[in-house]
Amino acid sequence: MKQIALYGKGGIGKSTTSANLSAALSEKSLDILQIGCDPKHDSTRMLMHGQWIPTVLDLVREKGEGNITTEDVVFSGYNNIRCVEAGGPEPGVGCAGRGIIATFQLLEKLDALYGDVIVYDVLGDVVCGGFAMPMREGYAREVYLVTSGDFMALYAANNICKAIARLSKRSKPCCTLGGVICNSQNIEGELGLVSEFAEKINSELTGFIPRSQIVRVSEVNKKTVLEYAPESEQADVYRKLAEKIMNTNPDPDKKPTPLSMDELETLAQKYIKA
Amino acid sequence: MHKNISRHDGCTVTGALTVTTFLRDSATIVHGPKGCCHQAVSVLHSSMLYNECFDIPDIFSSAMDEKNIIFGGEDSLNDAIKEALDEDFRCIFIIGTCISDTIGDDIESVCAGFNEKDSVPVIPINASGFLGGSFEDGFISALKGASEIIGENCNFSDKYSDECQIKPLVNIIGEKNLEYEVDANFSEIKRLLNLLGADVNLRFIRNITFDDIQNFNCASLNIIREDTTGDIKRHFEKLTNIPCISSYPYGISNTLEFLKEAGEYLNINPDLAIKHEINYQKEMFESFSDLRGEKISFDSFGFQKADSNLFTEIARHTGIVLDSDGVTIPIPFFTPVGTGGVFHMLSQWRRFING
């Protein structure tokens, strides 16, 4: 079983990338489970044809943990991809990070964490212990940083990189950096910038997803690109990404090297010109 | 060493509980996990039992669990307050813990919701467990929180009761309720005040009722047990306009100065009281005449900050010689209060010297 997590800045396109990646993986007749770990709970919406599925934490709040079944929280989406949304508390209340931990523990108790590939879609603006949980407890074995050439997106990616570097110091590290995925924002010099960023953090560019109108059109039609426009070039981009990830076996001894703020700024200045 | 397990360590929760639980007709809710409440209450209760205080305080826990930590614990606190309000308490205190503070529960607004509709005040104490600081921080916060009961429009000159007009009254603030000598120290302060012709109005807070606090403004002087930060004095002066003495008197000369200072605040000529006390102190030292010429040295165990001037003064008055080869005398954890405290300490010195 391959367990991958996509981390990145809010709004960078993690959910779109995750859903299309899951869809592409499912074409290989693989059993896929996608878990959205964002209180926004929109990770699996395209796989569910626009349906907002109930979140694990909403159900825990309403029914209590003891009364929840697998059928309550795991929903079958496009190509039988199993979809779960962790959810979260109301804004400004409680601890969403702890909620992520509780969700995983409940799914484990329900024997729902199985399949050929589990895709964790995790928000990366906040990397408290709770949100780093998928890495720390071995749920996510390979982390992919989703970024663009936008400075703040790189900043968030670098922060996740710090979390992985920190976890790699443990006596039994179980999480490695799989690579960097560039979800393009059509920024000049973006490919060069993100490629060099990947290299500098001792990783590699796993995939470059060009900005395409077809992604927006598919979303409006409540489908992934793989489902809405399977013959499109963009669909092939996701297929190639899926292929690359399936063939990636990150070396556990290869530790990420996050950049200092100065290094990150210097790198950005090199590519982003007025 | 005297038997004393008074607690000066621990988190704000225990410190705050040592204040709130001594308002007899109130209840305290610890807003946190059950275990957190249990730990703090165990320390409090065992210390109270050791100091021969057998009352079981009314303490509730909001019993936060994982669900509360994820979704917020304000609903649980709400339920706990409702449960406490079902009983016949005159006032409810809420003490937050590390857990409720970490996840950002808004205790003040939960309390405000009750205070809008209920006649029983629900008072938040700024605590936050270890996050909020030490035992002493919790203790000070609880004194400040409880002072809300006194009310905002405090002006002692307008509110003198009949009793106030007969003799001036004094509030005692912030007694250390887990201190073994708490009542002995109180008696000593009362004795000194009586020498001046004044008396105690209110012990804020030690075994008093909610209604007792309504008489707070009958006093024309506040005496604080100890105020290392100056925070308690500033708070009560601002709140009540009543002048404050910020410490119990320690030792010999400081006790005489205390009489003078209190006399000034109470508009009483202290000369007679001071003369009486000087004679009393002479008699007291005379009763330890057998110790004259004995040699002692002080041991602070390396962790207590001893006011050596105070102990040196007591030794000199008794006729005891300080000598590094003399009998080792442990510095007491609490500095002796008033002349009475010196008497008890000298009795201990005698035990060491004759032992």
A59, A90, A95, best to mutate vs chain B, most B CBs in 10 Å? A95
Average pLDDT, chain B: 89
Q: Is A255 on the interface with B (CB under 8 A)?
A: no
**Does the pLDDT of residue A91 top 90, yes or no?**
no
Q: Is residue A14 among the annotated active site residues?
A: yes
Q: Is residue A255 among the annotated active site residues?
A: no
pTM exceeding 0.95: no
Q: How far apart are CA B294 and CA B292, in angstroms?
A: 6
Give the count of beta carbons closer than 10 Å to the beta carbon of residue B161.
12
A154: closest CA of chain B, how far (Å)? 29
Give me A124's structure tokens.
């990366």
- Is residue B342 within 8 Å of residue B336, measured between CB atoms? yes
The per-residue pLDDT for range B230-257, each reduced to its tens digit, is: 999 999 999 998 999 999 999 999 999 9
Torsion of CA A217, A218, A219, A224, to 10 degrees: -160
Q: How far apart are CA B148 and CA B155, in angstroms?
A: 15
| Mean pLDDT on A236-257 | 94
Give the count of beta carbons closer than 10 Å to the beta carbon of residue B112.
12
pLDDT above 70: percentage of residues in chain B: 91
Contacts of A88 (CB under 8 A, 6+ apart): A38, A39, A41, A55, A57, A96, A99
Which residue bears the tokens 């560039």? Answer: A182
**Does the pLDDT of residue A34 top 80, yes or no?**
yes
Residue B151 banded pLDDT, cuts 50, 70, 90: low
**Does the pLDDT of residue B167 top 90, yes or no?**
no
Give me B48's structure tokens.
């109270």
**Does the pLDDT of residue B1 top 50, yes or no?**
no
| β-pairing verdict for B91-96 and B26-31 | parallel
B139: closest CA of chain A, how far (Å)? 27
Q: Is residue A244 among the annotated active site residues?
A: no
The sign of the CA dihedral B279, B284, B290, B291 is: negative
The per-residue pLDDT for range A56-90, each reduced to its tens digit, is: 999 999 998 899 999 999 999 999 999 999 999 98
The per-residue pLDDT for range B334-346, each reduced to its tens digit, is: 889 999 999 999 9
- The three-state secondary structure class of B321 is strand
- Nearest alpha carbon to residue A21 among A250, A247, A245: A245
pLDDT above 70: percentage of residues in chain A: 99
- Which residues of chain A neighbour B68 with C-beta distances below 8 Å? 94
- Is residue A142 within 8 Å of residue A176, measured between CB atoms? yes
Q: Is A87 on the interface with B (CB under 8 A)?
A: no
Residue A149 banded pLDDT, cuts 50, 70, 90: very high
Q: What angle do CA B316, B322, B325 make, to 5 degrees?
A: 160
- pLDDT score of B131: 83
Which residue of the set A42, A58, A125, A236 is catalytic? A125
- Which residues of chain A neighbour B73 with C-beta distances below 8 Å? 94
A:B CB pairs within 8 Å: 38
Reported as half-sphere exposure (CB side, CA atoms, 13 A), residue B139 has a value of 26
- Which residues of chain A neighbour B102 with C-beta distances below 8 Å? 95
The three state secondary structure string of B176-214 is: CCCCCCHHHHHHHHHHHHHHHCCEEEEEECCCECHHHHC
Task: Of A147-151, B194-198, B328-332, give the lowest mean pLDDT range.
Answer: B328-332
Give the count of beta carbons closer than 10 Å to the beta carbon of residue A214.
14
Residues 82-111, chain B, touching A (beta carbon < 8 A):
102-104
**Does the pLDDT of residue B6 top 80, yes or no?**
no
- pLDDT score of B303: 55
Q: Is residue A40 among the annotated active site residues?
A: yes
Q: How far apart are CA B156 and CA A186, in angstroms?
A: 73
Whether B66 sits inside 8 A of A98 (CB atoms) is yes
- Which residues of chain B neighbour A96 with C-beta distances below 8 Å? 70
Contacts of B112 (CB under 8 A, 6+ apart): none
Q: Is A86 on the interface with B (CB under 8 A)?
A: no
- The three-state secondary structure class of B80 is helix
- Which residues of chain B neighbour A89 with C-beta distances below 8 Å? 70-72
- Nearest alpha carbon to residue A103 among A84, A116, A121, A117: A84
B73: closest CA of chain A, how far (Å)? 7
Q: Nearest chain A Cα to B103, which residue? A: A94
